[in-house]
Amino acid sequence: MKRLLAMPEPPMLVSATSAHQEMPDPPAWDDASLDRYPSGGDPYLCYPPPGAWRDDFTEGDLQAALARSNRRARTLALYVHLPFCRKICFYCNRATVATKLTRQADPYISRLDREMVLARRHLDTAREVTQLHWGGGTPTFLTLDQMSDLIDRLDARFGLSGSRERDYSIEVDPREADVFTLRHLQALGFNRLSLGVQDLDPQVQRAVNRVQPRILTEALIDEADRLGFRSLNLDLIAGLPGQTRDSFAATLEQVIAMAPPRLRVIDYEHQPQRVPVQRRIQAETLPDAAERHAILRTTLAQLTAAGYVHIGLDQFARPDDSLAVAQHQGRLSRRFQGYTSHQPQGDLLGLGVSAFSRIDDVYSRNPEKLAAYEAALDASHLPIARGMRLTFDDRVRRHAIERLLCDMALDLDALGERFGLDAERYFAETLRGLEGPRHDGLLERHGSRLLVTPLGRLRAQHLARAFAAPLAPPDRSA
């Protein structure tokens, strides 16, 4: 029998507030201004963006970063990418493997274990693993036994935490999970769930090859609430084929009734040249720019009226959710998976095809193609495709961008004090470049403080890019 992690009783899911609260009206804008700041493209999960990373980053570079991480006794977070999907959704731009045979995941789990062994040789595994996230693909494609096997391997190689404060999350496809799945995940130590919904309109679901009856999602939310999972997030996608402001409003009304503590409303970006599966979506079936703006207005109005806080970009949360609390207290941070209430001092080790790592002052990514990932491991090498080591300039820019995206504000004086520089002069060109967004109402300046407006929260990635160094810089590996 598989050993299950001891799990202390977590707090119950946050339910909808019973008392009516006066909420601010959603931001007003003219469509022409918003068109100047398109929503598609890189959501700026991190700086430097992967497009700036180097192809000549080596296994030795990552090993050296792991050694530096050990000396600094940084906490450790793990991300595991599980690429398998029974059906491929036509909007998907992730690294996935389409198969109906769960046994095909067995050799992948074995290679994940090989990657753990190779990484562990360079890690002080006495450090507590405070965060764990399984993403995909469809992690719940795995059988219950395969999930237990993978958890056992992770625990044997790294030592998983039994602390009440740990943050162990998993992406769940309601079509690939039931109440028994959730009970098993809880027993394995997971305390946060993220459910992929995308849209509840049957016509839209058929158009993107993801037919998912509402009852499947409701049943899992009810069971998660009964079991006492710490939090739950629902993912929606705006801009899918066949969507209208009215159809998406109906989806939002149903989702709000389910009362998830967190919601992500992701803007679909149609890139059939780069993402072949998106060629199954006909461009003429997508909502036009005016309709997308109307969908966005509807989203903000409904979620604001329901009491959700717009954290920024695509993320919403109830005021008493840990994300909203962390933002209010100035301790919100970001990783490759998005916002987190855990402090950013720790390192993130990514395992699996296409997985990202952030170790000490180094970023790296595993191969996006399964064959290349397998070949590296079969040759007993850590599977590194790209990466880079941050310079002082990178660290300054990363901190500025992270604080701007997390706090929706940036104190230039505090930034300068932290890094021992005159931030006003250091970012003089950036500040000049932000005059346009400031004029369009995305940003305000109050002395040394930059404040992102409610409208700016929708397009904060454009403000973040202003602080980034140009892509394809000269040698930055030193």
Strands (E), 37-166: 76-82, 84-85, 97-98, 129-136
Tell me the pLDDT tens digit for each residue of 204-256.
999 999 999 999 999 999 999 999 999 999 999 999 999 999 999 999 999 99
Is residue 8 scored above 50 in pLDDT?
no
Tell me the pLDDT tens digit for each residue of 356-389.
999 989 999 999 999 999 999 999 999 999 999 9
**In this structure, what are the phi and psi dihedrals at residue 207, rounded to the nearest 5 degrees?**
-65, -25
| Nearest C-alpha neighbor of 136 from the set 180, 103, 92 | 92
How many helices and strands, by DSSP H and E, does the chain display? 18, 19
Q: Between 3.30.70.60, 3.30.70.2660, 1.10.10.10, 1.10.10.920, what CATH number should domain 391-470 receive? A: 1.10.10.920
Is residue 476 scored above 70 in pLDDT?
no
Tell me the pLDDT tens digit for each residue of 56-109.
999 999 999 999 999 988 888 999 999 999 999 999 988 899 999 999 999 999
- Stretch 250-279: mean pLDDT, rounded? 95
Instruction: State the pLDDT confidence band at 128, using cuts at 50, 70 and 90.
Output: confident
CA 398 to chain centre: 17
What is the reported pLDDT for 299?
96
365 forms bridges with which residues in the sheet?
356, 386
Q: Cα separations (Å) of 466 from 49, 136, 432, 448? A: 13, 30, 10, 17
Separation CA 476–CA 478 (nearest Å):
6
| Nearest C-alpha neighbor of 281 from the set 289, 290, 272 | 272
Helix or strand run (H / E) with residue 449: strand 449-452
Do residues 158 and 126 touch, judged by C-beta distance below 8 A?
Answer: no
Separation CA 206–CA 200 (nearest Å):
10
SS3 22: coil
Separation CA 298–CA 295 (nearest Å):
5
Count of Cβ atoms closer than 10 Å to residue 457 Cβ: 19
CA 232 to chain centre: 14
334 forms bridges with which residues in the sheet?
339
- Stretch 8-18: mean pLDDT, rounded? 38
- Stretch 383-403: mean pLDDT, rounded? 95
- Stretch 282-301: mean pLDDT, rounded? 94
Question: Where along the chain do the CATH 1.10.10.920 domains lie?
Answer: 391-470
What is the reported pLDDT for 297?
92
Is residue 424 scored above 70 in pLDDT?
yes
What is the reported pLDDT for 32?
81
Tokens of 123: 């890690």
Separation CA 296–CA 239 (nearest Å):
9
Is residue 415 scored above 80 in pLDDT?
yes
- Stretch 379-400: mean pLDDT, rounded? 96
**Polymer length in residues for the chain:** 478
Helix or strand run (H / E) with residue 158: helix 144-158
Q: Across the chain, what does the average pLDDT equal? A: 90
What is the reported pLDDT for 44?
59
**In this structure, what are the phi and psi dihedrals at residue 451, rounded to the nearest 5 degrees?**
-120, 125
Separation CA 445–CA 435 (nearest Å):
10
Is residue 274 scored above 80 in pLDDT?
yes
410 forms bridges with which residues in the sheet?
450
Separation CA 302–CA 419 (nearest Å):
41
Half-sphere exposure of 188 (CA within 13 A, CB side): 28
Is residue 4 scored above 90 in pLDDT?
no
Q: Among all chains, which residue has been given the structure tokens 């909420």?
A: 23
SS3 422: coil
Tell me the pLDDT tens digit for each residue of 443-455.
999 999 999 999 9
Is residue 472 scored above 90 in pLDDT?
no
| Nearest C-alpha neighbor of 166 from the set 246, 244, 231, 219 | 231
Instruction: State the pLDDT confidence band at 346, using cuts at 50, 70 and 90.
Output: confident
Strands 97-98 and 386-389, how do they pair? unpaired
In order, the DSSP letters of 294-329 are HHHHHHHHHHHHTT-EEEETTEEE-TTSHHHHHHHT
**In this structure, what are the phi and psi dihedrals at residue 19, rounded to the nearest 5 degrees?**
-85, 135
What is the reported pLDDT for 475?
43
Separation CA 413–CA 418 (nearest Å):
9
Tokens of 340: 């987190």
